Amino acid sequence: MLELLHNTPKKSAYTIILLLAIFSTIYNAFSPLHGDEAYYWMWSHHLQTGYYDHPPMIAYLIYLTNFISEAEWGVRLVNVFSFSIAAVYIFKLSAEMFDEKIALNAIIIFSSVILVHAGYIMTTTDSPIILFWTLSMYYSYKAIFYGKTKDYILTGIMLGLMMLSKYTAILFVFTLLIFLIFKRRDIFLNPRFYLAIIIAFLVVSPMLWWNYQNDWISFGFQMDHGSTDDFTLNIPDMFGFLAGQFGIFSPVFAGLLFFYLVKDKLYYKDNKLFFLSLSIVVILGFFMYKSLFKSMGLNYAAPMYIGGVILLSYIISKYEFKKAYKVGLIIAITFSIIGRIGFMFFLEIVQDRMYGNREAVHLVQTYAKDGDSFYGDHLTIAAYLKYYLKNHPDTDLALRSRFSQYDMWRKKDYLKDGLVLTQDPVESQLKNLYKEVKLVDSVAFKRGINSTKTFYIYRVKNPIK
């Protein structure tokens, strides 16, 4: 089968990308939104140049896909478009650096691992950063190695868009600077280098201005979110984070990639391979360091696998690891199939936080009256209410939760008569806010294998001034 695909590598690669995009679009229609997806969708109805939790790109992309559909699969078109376009440019970069057969293998690896399949399923800020990290890698590579003005301009644009996607994009900027310092210091004397910097700054400046106007609140949140005041080293967490990479990228693939990065000393003597190696080790090293002090999500290091699949494909080709390649594919595809089956049919176990929210909001709808306002007890519940209620009314939080975009938008005297959906019994807390509080219904859903979770619906009247 692999030999047949290699007969027409470019056609085969684009066919794989197209088929995975079509399959994922259909697949994504059959599961409810995650709370974060509903939260980002809510942002798309209130476009700004910045948000408390993240830069604005995720909201902009969902805003565009809203013109196609606002159903679950429509919101997740952001993932499908982002990962599919990224895959096309992974092929283009691989072919530029090596040849189309290595490029095809990079696409096959990319399309097989569970990390990428998870990316196709869930709309997160990983979607835009994967897209614009890939585009930034492609155009910066061309600018560095071929020196055309067009590529410097496009590098500046893509770097700016990448910074509007997720703050960890700064790690790719560091990657480029490290590469230039060690390998191409001459570029610091090239006016086009500074043109790219100016363009990137202009693209990102509206987000910077928003942060300035809001006392750098978003930067502050991310600094606190990814850091801790306790500097006690947690070695097991660091090794756990590293071990997790073998799960999300396949044990064989991760093993080969990490082994040869160490064995061949980051391929320092080969400029092209060193460029790829830096794009991996800078982000991996950063999050391994951070995991010494605070637990890090395995997906945080996802952008490193853009360069990772290309370098791994080169390693497999150079050393003719045909058997290891096939075994790695079998394991990766097996993990992905199990993950997709679990997400589709065992959501209450695989992602219990997503399970039951849609049905709970539909139950709220049955008690809704004209003029009602709607509230949740957490930002994701408020976002679910806005997404799944008819006509998508504006919603808010009735009770204190962690600071979020809702707090930045909130006006005085925002509490009105209406319905409150909560994940815990909170009648006593609501009575501190309203003169009349009545539990009108509750509904339980399965959570995990043997437990349940319950939603509570309260009708509230006459807010206490």
Q: Using CA of residue 395, residue 396, residue 397, residue 398, what is the dihedral sign?
A: negative
- On the question of pLDDT at 395 being above 80, the answer is yes
Type of residue at 422? T
pLDDT recorded at residue 229? 66
Question: Of 204, 143, 133, whose CA–CA distance to 169 is shortest?
Answer: 133
Q: Which has the higher per-residue pLDDT, 7 or 49?
A: 49
The pLDDT tens digits of the residues spanning 51-78 come to 999 999 999 999 999 999 999 999 999 9
- On the question of pLDDT at 372 being above 80, the answer is yes
pLDDT recorded at residue 31? 94
**pLDDT (average), residues 200-213:** 97
Question: Of 289, 275, 301, 270, whose CA–CA distance to 113 is shortest?
Answer: 301
The bridge status of strand 373-376 relative to strand 418-422 is parallel
- On the question of pLDDT at 410 being above 70, the answer is yes
pLDDT recorded at residue 183? 96
Q: Residue 228 — very low, low, confident or very high, per pLDDT cuts 50/70/90?
A: low
The pLDDT tens digits of the residues spanning 243-281 come to 999 999 999 999 999 999 999 999 999 999 999 999 999
User: What does the DSSP assignment read for 12-26?
Assistant: HHHHHHHHHHHHHHH
Place of tokens 């209130």: 46
Cα separation, 309 vs 286, whole angstroms: 19
The pLDDT tens digits of the residues spanning 10-58 come to 999 999 999 999 999 999 999 999 999 999 999 999 999 999 999 999 9
Q: Residue 400 — very low, low, confident or very high, per pLDDT cuts 50/70/90?
A: confident
The pLDDT tens digits of the residues spanning 82-116 come to 999 999 999 999 999 999 999 999 999 999 999 99
Tell me if 117 sits within 8 A of 126, measured CB to CB: no
- 3-class SS of residue 284: helix
pLDDT recorded at residue 369? 94
The pTM is what?
Answer: 0.95
